[in-house]
Structure 1
């Protein structure tokens, strides 16, 4: 199985890791898990936002990887771009939590470019 597929799994699980940090040590009720988000400290609210952003970006990444691999795009290129995407998305979450807005936006844009590159690679075969 190509590394790029493992990256899809990591991207699918990343939001869960981020939200675990957001909710760690809180009095959040499992009966109403989204209640109380506004009462979290600022860094934890940003982590919750990063968690949502990770979910929002996952479908495009997963589709791009699957399309590229199934289309016969050189797997080494897809693997490198997929791994780069994962690193950038992890950096995005850390920057989000630490309120580094400009750096976060730059890293977000770089991850988006990597994702677009994966998606369009089959067109250049």
Structure 2
């Protein structure tokens, strides 16, 4: 049986692709921040200075980028630990892609300034990572 109604195969490649997409999400947010902020080629000399002085959606996209980088290592390690301890691949895939979908929603909520919804999505994304650790612990015990 395939994960998520047949959309995601039950192979390790699906979890690896989820890790790739999650790893690219901060870059997408960085590009969004630059687009929303009116980034010009001359700003490339000091892009961090440019992003520090943005406001509105650009500043929020930059903050989403930073938070995505902060939570990414936990997710990546959680997926690898779950795979290492032989958590069923279909379960890993479902949780990994759920994390990615939630993080995408988180970024949209951040950019559109939906603070409470964003916080809820952040907690749910962390639960995904923690659940992978928990399952690995249960299997190894």
| 1:29 CA drift (Å) | 1.4
Aligned to 1:58: 72
Return the match for 1:48 from 62, 67, 72: 62
Aligned to 2:39: 26
| 1:40 CA drift (Å) | 1.9
Secondary structure at 1:29 match in 2 = helix
Gapped runs of 5+ residues in structure 1?
none
Root-mean-square deviation (CA, aligned residues, Å) is 1.2
Q: TM-score, normalised by structure 2?
A: 0.84
Map 1:1-125 → 2, pairs under 5 A: 1-24=12-35, 25-27=38-40, 29-125=43-139
Gapped runs of 5+ residues in structure 2?
1-11
In structure 2, how many angstroms separate the alpha carbons of the residues matched to 1:15 and 1:38? 16
In the TM superposition, structure 1's runs of 4+ consecutive aligned residues that sit over 4 Å from their partners are: none
| 1:124 CA drift (Å) | 1.7
Q: TM-score, normalised by structure 1?
A: 0.94
Tell me which structure has the larger Cα radius of gyration.
2
Instruction: Decide whether the 8 Å contact of 1:68 with 1:122 is kept in 2.
Output: yes
